[in-house]
Chain A
C-alpha cells in the first residue's frame, strides 16, 4: 500500500513537473513578435526591386489578454469589432510588368497588385451579417488609411466570389477601386502600424520622394486571425505589411559600356533611397537585408564566369561569390541561403543575407552592388501571359477579350503538363460593373486562333449576372487548355448601359474603369524552398517559401460611356415651356379675336387716312409713270406667276442644299 502510494505520489510529481515545463515552454512562444526585412533583387531591365516586409504577430486573446506592447491597437480593434478572419488591403500605383519583372516567383504572385485599391476580407460572422460588416469595415479602413475605401460600401462596387478567388464561399467580399490615387497620405498611416514607424530600422529607408519616384509602388496589409475559431489550437493574429517598389538606380552620366554591351547599373541603398540604415528597429526580433539573384541570372552568371575564367585566372568557389570578376558587393554577407527543391534546373536562386543589427549612427549600413561585366538575363515567366483589351467602337456596344499567350519558355510543357495530364488549368475571376452589360452567352473561346465549341474547354463556370444599380456581374471560370497551346483568347460582348444623370462622376468624360481580372494558374506553385530549416523562423523567407498559386492581374480597362450634355434637362424644359407658351398665347388670342370688326376697322382706316409718306410716294409714282393715282388695291397677282416664283425659290434652295452637301463631303 505504501509502495503504491509513493509511486502514485511520484507519478503526481512527475505530471506536475511536466506540466510546469510545458507551461514554461509555451510561455516562451506566447509573446508578441515583430520582424522586419528587406529583399533587393536586380531586375533584367536595369531596375531594382525592393520589397520591404514587416510582420507583427500576437498570441490569441484568450491566453494573452487584450493589452499589447507591439501589435498596433487600431488593427486589433478592427479585427475584434468586425470579426475579420482574414483581410488584405493593397494600395498600388503603376502596373507590374510581368514580362520584365517576372511572373513566376512568390513576390510577383503575392505582391503584384492591380492599380488603385484592392480589398478583400473574410468575416467570421453569420452569413446575413457579412454585408453589414463589410460596409462598416470599409468605412473604418477609409478613416484609418485616408483613402476613399468607403466607396466600396455600395453593393455595386463589391462582389462575393464563390470559389475562384479564395475558398471561403459566402463570407468573402472582394472590391477594387482602380482609380484611387495612392500617395504619402496612405503610406503614413500604414507606417503608424509599425512600432518604429520610419524612425528606425529598415523602414527608415522609406524616403518619400525616392519611393514614389519608382515605376511600381504597392503597399499591402494582410492579416489573418483565428480569434473566433472554436478549434483550440489558436495561433493568434498575424499582421503582415509589405511595400514593394521597383526603382531605377541613378546612373550618373552615360551608361557604362564594356566590350560593346551595356553594364547593369550599379547601385547602393543610399543611391536608391537617398538614405542609409542606422541599425535595426530596437523592438524587432530580426532585421535583415537580402539580395536575391534569380536562377536565370545565376545560370547566366555562370556562363559569363566560364568565359572569363579562360581569360582570367583563379578558381572561384561558391564561397566568395560576392566578390568576383562579374560583380562586387560592398559588404560581405552574413550568410548565403541557397534554394533547394527546384529539381528541374541545376541552378537555383540564391539569397545573400546581411544583418543590420551591428550597425549604428556612426557607421550606417549601406549595401552596394557593382557590376563589372555586362550580364543579360530574363525573369521566369508565368506559363501564359494574360492581357485583356476592349474590342469594338462606338458608344453602344463592344467586347472584352482576355488573351493568354504562351510566354515562350518551355516550362509550360514541362511543368504544367507533367503534373496534370495533358491539360493546363487556368482560373479566371472577373468583376464587371453593372453599366457594362455583358452577355455571357456570347462567350467565345479561341485556341491558337481557332474558335472552339465553348463547353469543351470550360471545366466549371459560375456567373452572377449584374443587376442594374444593385450588383456587378461576376464571372468565375476554370479553363482547361491543351498542353502545347500558343495562344488562347476569350471574348465576351457587352452593351453599354445608360446611367442616371446623378450617377456620373465629376469627370464623366474620362470613361469608366473595369477592374482587373484575376488569372491564376493553380497547377503552378510559386515558392522558393530553402535548405536551412532554422531559417524558417524568419517571416520574409517564410513568405517566399509559402506555396502559392501563380497569380497575375490583367490590365484595367477604360470604357467610354455616352456622356450626356448635363445642361440638357434644363434646355429641354426651357424649349418645351416656350413652345407651350407660344401655343397657349396664340390660342387665347385666337379665341378672343373679332375677325369681322378688325376687317372693318382696317378698311375704314385705309379709306380715311393713309400715311403721309405712302400718299407722297404714290403721287410721286404717278407723276413718274404718268398714270393717275390708283387707290391701293389688294395685290392679286395672277396665280401662274405665283407658282412660277415659288418654283424658282424652291429650286434655288434645293440647289444650294445640293451644292452644300457636295462641297462639304
Chain B
C-alpha cells in the first residue's frame, strides 16, 4: 500500500515520521493512471483516422516533372525537307555540299526567331536531288524523286501556278508516310525569279538563279514558311488559337440589321453553308470539330459613333472606335446550346448599317479606307460592315423593303470571313510572304487552309495543348497541396493519371513526327487536365474543418485529459517521494 504508514505503534527514536517509511511504496494507482493515459494515446490514431477526409493520391512528382519539362524545353517535332535542283550544273556542287549549306542557312534563320513551340527540332534532315538532263544525283536514303519528270511539264504557260501545283503534288505524293516538305528549284532563262508556295507541301522557285541564292531562298522557305507558317510579328500568337479544350469550334454567323425600319436584309445561309463552308470544315477536320450556326438579328445598332466625311462621301469609323463597336447590350449573339462545356465560339458578324449611317466605312490609321471594311477581335471573332446598295438612293420608304444579299455579295463576304478566320488562327490572309530574300506567293487553297498550314497549326496546337495541360496540372497540384482539408475524389485522381498518360503519348508521337495523332492525344491530355481541375467536387473543401473538429471534441477531451495528466503527474511525484522515504529508512536500518 502506497500510503503513509500507520501511526507507529512502537516509538522508534530513529524513525523520522516525516521523511521515512518502512514499506515499499505501492504501484497500483500509478499503473492505473498510466494505463489510462496510454489508452488515450493509443486511441488517438483511431480518432484521427475517423475524422480523416478522403484524398485520392495524386502523382505530384510526375506532374511537377512534366510541367518543368514543358517549361524548360518546348516540344519540337522532327521535320524532313527535300530540295530538288532542276537543270543545275551537276559539277559545280555535289548534293552533299548543297545539303550541308542549306542546313547551315536554315540554322541561321531559325536562330533569328528563337525556338518557338511546335517548330522543328534541330535534327532536321535535308535531302538534295540534283536533276539535270544528263544525270540525277541525290543524297539521303529515301529520295524517290522521279528524275526528269519536270521536263515533261511545259513551262511555257507561265502563270499556270495551279496546274503546276497539282502536277508537283502528283510527283511528290509518292511517299505517303512521312511528311516531306519539298522545294523545287528550276533554272530557266527567265529574268524574273518567281517563288511560289503551293497548296500542298511543296514550293517551287523558277528563273535565272544561282546556287547560292537558291540555297538561301530554300532555307528561308523551309524555316519561315513551312515550319513557322509564314507568320510575322504582331499577328496572333499560337497560344491564342481559337480552339476549345475539347477541340470544338462553333462558328456562329450573325447578320445584324441595325435598323429594320430602313431596310431588312436577309441571306441564304443554307447555300453558303453547303457550298462555301463545308470544304473549310472538312479541311479543318483533323484539327478541330467545327460546327456552324447562323441567325439574323434586328434592331442592333453599333455602340460607337461615326461621322460624315465629305471627301470620302461616306460615314467613317476609325480604328480607335473599334473597341466600342460591338454593342454587347443589344447584340445578343452568344446563346448557343451547342457550345456547352469547353468548346469555343467564334462570332462572325455582318453589320448592315441603318440609313442614317450609310455607307459606313472603316478608316485605317494611314487615312485610307479599309478594303474589307471589317476587323477581327482575337478569340472573339470578326466583324464586317456591309453597306447595302440601296443606301445611296436615300428614299423615304414608309414600309421597309426586304432584300436578300445576293449570292455574289455573300461570296465576297464569305471571302472576308475566311481571311478573318485565317487571321484568328494566326495565319496570313494576304497570300504573300515577304522574306529577307524576296517575296513568295502563297497559293490560296479553295478549302481555306493549305496542307502545310494545317501541319503548322496542328503542331502548334499540340504544343500549346501540352503547355496548357502542364500548367493546369501544375496549378492543380499546388492547389491540392495548399489545402490539406480538401476532398479529392477518385475521379480526379483517375483523370490526372490519364491526362499524364496522354501527355506522354503526345510526346512520343511528336518525336515520331505524327502530327495528327499528337494533336489528338494532346487535346485529350488538356481536356482531362481541365476536367480534373474543373471537376464539380473539386472545391468541396470539407465542411468539417479543423476548427470545427476542435470545437466538437474539446468539451470532452480537454477536461478529461486534464484529469488524466494531473493524475499521472501527481502519482508519479508521490511515488518518487515515497520511494525516497523508503530508501532513507532502509539506509537508516542498515
> Which residues does A use to contact B, with CB under 8 Å?
65-70, 72-74, 77-78, 81, 140, 144, 192, 195-197, 199-200, 279, 282-283, 360, 570, 573-574, 576-578, 580-582, 584-585, 588-589, 591-592, 594, 596-597, 600-601
Residues on A with C-beta less than 8 A from B560 are 580-581, 584-585
**Interface with A: B217-225, B290-298, B485-493, which one?**
B290-298
The contact size tier of chain B is 35 or more
Partner of A192, one of B332, B555, B556, B571: B332
Per-position 1/0 for B523-562, Cβ under 8 A of A: 0000000000000000000000000000111011011101
Partner of B559, one of A74, A140, A581: A581
Chain A's closest residue to B556 (CB) is A577
**A362: min CB distance to chain B, Å:** 11
- Nearest-Cβ distance from residue B525 to partner chain A, whole angstroms: 27
Give the residues in chain A near B260, CB-CB below 8 Å.
196, 200, 282-283
The answer, among B337, B552, B558, for a CB contact under 8 Å with A77, is: B337
Assess whether A578 is in contact with B555, with CB atoms less than 8 Å apart. Answer: yes
Establish whether residues A582 and B559, one from each chain, have CB atoms under 8 Å apart when the complex forms.
Answer: yes
- Contact between chains at A592 and B29 (CB < 8 Å): yes
Residues of A close to B332: CB separation below 8 A: 192
The 5 closest A-B pairs by CB, nearest first: A577-B556, A577-B555, A581-B559, A199-B299, A77-B337
Chain B residues with CB under 8 A of A67: 269-270, 273, 293-294
Evaluate whether A600 and B4 lie within 8 angstroms (CB atoms) in the complex, with A196-B260, A196-B299, A592-B567 already known: yes
A195 contacts B298, C-beta separation under 8 Å: yes
A-B contact count (CB 8 A): 104
Contact A74 to B336, CB < 8 A, known contacts A577-B556, A585-B559: yes
- The verdict on A200 contacting B32 (CB below 8 Å), with A77-B336, A570-B552, A581-B555 known, is no
| Contact assessment for B571 and A597 in the assembled complex, using a CB-CB cutoff below 8 Å | no
**Interface flag for B398 (CB, 8 Å):** yes
Q: Give complex CA distance A596, B7 in Å.
A: 12
* Interface set, chain B 268-298, CB cutoff 8 A to A: 269-270, 273, 293-298
- Of B296, B335, B563, B571, the contact of A144 (CB 8 Å cutoff): B335
CB contacts (< 8 Å) of B33 on chain A: these are 588, 592
Residue among B33, B270, B556, B564 with the highest chain A CB neighbour number at 10 A: B556
Q: Is the pair B337, A78 in contact by a Cβ cutoff of 8 Å?
A: yes
* Whole-angstrom CA separation of A83 from B193 in the bound complex: 61
Other A-B contacts than A70-B296, A589-B563, 16 sampled, CB-CB below 8 A, are A67-B269, A67-B270, A68-B295, A69-B266, A73-B295, A81-B338, A192-B332, A196-B298, A282-B264, A282-B298, A581-B556, A582-B559, A584-B560, A588-B36, A596-B3, A601-B4
Q: Which residues of B contact A578 (CB under 8 A)?
A: 555-556, 559
**Which residue of B298, B337, B552 is within 8 Å of A283 (Cβ)?**
B298
- Note all chain A residues with C-beta closer than 8 A to B563: 581, 584-585, 588-589
B261 within 8 A of A: yes
Return chain B residues, CB-CB under 8 Å to A72.
Answer: 295
Q: In the complex, A65→B293 CA distance in Å?
A: 11
Q: How far is the CA of A269 from the CA of B121 in the complex (A)?
A: 74
Contacts of B266 in A (CB 8 A): 69
Q: Which residues of A contact B32 (CB under 8 A)?
A: 591-592
Contacts A65-B270, A197-B299, A578-B559; A594 near B335 (Cβ below 8 A): no
Contact assessment for A81 and B264 in the assembled complex, using a CB-CB cutoff below 8 Å: no
* B398 → A minimal CB distance (Å): 7
B400 interfacial contact with A, CB 8 Å:
yes
A164 to chain B, nearest CB (A): 32
Q: Give B553's nearest chain A residue, CB to CB.
A: A577
Chain A residue nearest to B292 in the complex (CB): A67
Q: When chains A and B are docked, how far (Å) is the Cα of A328 from the Cα of B87?
A: 99
26 inter-chain pairs at a CB distance below 8 angstroms, sorted by A residue, are A66-B293, A68-B294, A69-B266, A73-B335, A77-B293, A77-B338, A81-B337, A196-B260, A197-B299, A199-B299, A283-B264, A360-B398, A577-B553, A581-B558, A581-B559, A581-B560, A581-B563, A584-B560, A585-B559, A585-B560, A589-B563, A592-B29, A592-B33, A592-B567, A592-B571, A597-B4
Cβ of B293: which chain A residues have Cβ within 8 Å of it?
66-67, 73, 77
CA distance A77 to B338 in the complex (A): 7
How far in angstroms is the closest Cβ of chain B from A226?
A: 20
Within 8 A of A (CB), among B214-270: 260-261, 264, 266, 269-270
Instruction: Say whether B555 contacts A573, CB under 8 Å.
Output: yes
The answer to whether B261 and A200 have CB atoms under 8 Å apart is yes
How far, in Å, is A45 (CB) from chain B's closest CB?
37
Q: Kindly provide the distance from the CB of B263 to the nearest chain A CB, expressed in whole angstroms.
A: 9
| Minimal Cβ-Cβ distance residue in B for A358 | B398
CA distance A282 to B258 in the complex (A): 12
Determine the distance from Cα of A576 to Cα of B273 in the docked complex, in whole angstroms: 73
Q: Bits for B84-97, please: 1 = Cβ < 8 Å to A, else 0.
A: 00000000000000
Shortest Cβ gap from A8 to chain B (Å): 36
Q: Please give the distance in Å from A601's CB to the nearest CB on chain B.
A: 8
User: Given the complex, which residues of A lie within 8 Å of B556, measured CB to CB?
Assistant: 576-578, 580-581
Q: How far is the CA of A576 from the CA of B555 in the complex (A)?
A: 9
Instruction: Give, as a whole number of angstroms, the nearest-CB distance from A577 to chain B.
Output: 4
Q: Give the contacting residue for B564; candidates A77, A195, A588; CB below 8 A.
A: A588
Q: With the chains together, A578 CA to B557 CA distance in Å?
A: 9
B417 to chain A minimum Cβ distance, whole angstroms, is: 15
A582 to B298, CA, bound (A): 77
Give Cα distance in the complex from A282 to B263, angstroms. 9
A65: chain B residues at CB < 8 Å are 270
Bound-state Cα–Cα, A205 to B280, Å: 45
Report the minimum CB–CB distance from B409 to chain A (whole Å): 16
8 Å CB contact of B299 from A200, A588, A591: A200
- Mark B315-345 against chain A: 1 for CB-CB distance below 8 A, else 0: 0000000000000000010011110000000
Contact B567 A589 (CB under 8 A): yes
Compute how far the CA of A594 lies from the CA of B25 in the bound complex, rounded to whole angstroms.
13
Q: Are A591 and B29 in contact (CB under 8 A)?
A: yes
Q: Quick one: closest B residue to A144, CB to CB?
A: B335
Q: How far is the CB of B50 from chain A (nearest CB, A)?
A: 15
Give the docked Cα–Cα distance between A577 and B558 (Å).
10
The answer to whether B296 touches A68 (Cβ under 8 A) is yes
The residues of B that contact A279 with a CB separation of less than 8 Å are 261
Contact residues in B for A144 (Cβ distance below 8 Å): 335
Whether B296 lies near A69 (C-beta < 8 A) is yes
| Cα distance, A69 to B296, chains bound together (Å) | 5
Residues of chain B in range 11-43 having any CB-CB distance to chain A below 8 Å: 29, 32-33, 36
B450 to chain A, nearest CB (A): 28
Tell me, rounded to whole Å, the shortest Cβ–Cβ distance linking B16 to chain A.
Answer: 15
Q: How far is the CA of A432 from the CA of B399 in the complex (A)?
A: 54
List A contacts of B296 (CB < 8 A).
Answer: 68-70
Task: Report B-chain residues with C-beta under 8 Å of the C-beta of A576.
Answer: 556
Give, as a whole number of angstroms, the nearest-CB distance from B129 to chain A: 51
Collect the chain A residues with CB atoms within 8 Å of residue B294's CB. 67-68, 73
Distance from B273 Cβ to chain A, minimum over Cβ atoms (Å): 7
Give the distance to chain B from A626, nearest Cβ to Cβ, in Å: 36
Q: Is the CB of B338 within 8 A of A570?
A: no
Instruction: Report how far A200 CA is from B258 CA in the complex, Å.
Output: 13
CA distance A596 to B400 in the complex (A): 113
Closest chain-B Cβ to A400's Cβ sits at a distance in Å of 36
Q: Is the CB of B3 within 8 A of A73?
A: no
List the A side residues contacting B555 at CB < 8 Å: 573-574, 577-578, 581
Residue of A nearest to B269 (CB): A67
Q: How long is the Cα–Cα vector from A493 to B444 in the complex, in angstroms?
A: 78
Q: In whole angstroms, how far apart are the Cα atoms of A369 and B80 in the complex?
A: 85
Chain B: CB-nearest residue to A282: B260
Q: Which chain B residues lie closer than 8 Å to A581 at the CB level?
A: 555-556, 558-560, 563
User: Could you tell me the distance in whole angstroms from the C-beta of B471 to the nearest C-beta in chain A?
Assistant: 29
B-side contacts of A283, CB under 8 Å: 260, 264, 298
Given contacts A68-B295, A582-B559, A588-B567, is CB(A570)–CB(B551) below 8 Å?
Answer: yes
- When chains A and B are docked, how far (Å) is the Cα of A322 from the Cα of B266? 41
Residue of A nearest to B334 (CB): A74
Q: A589 to chain B: which residues have CB within 8 Å?
A: 563, 567
A651 to B176 Cα, complex, angstroms: 111
Interchain nearest-CB distance for A598 vs B (Å): 10
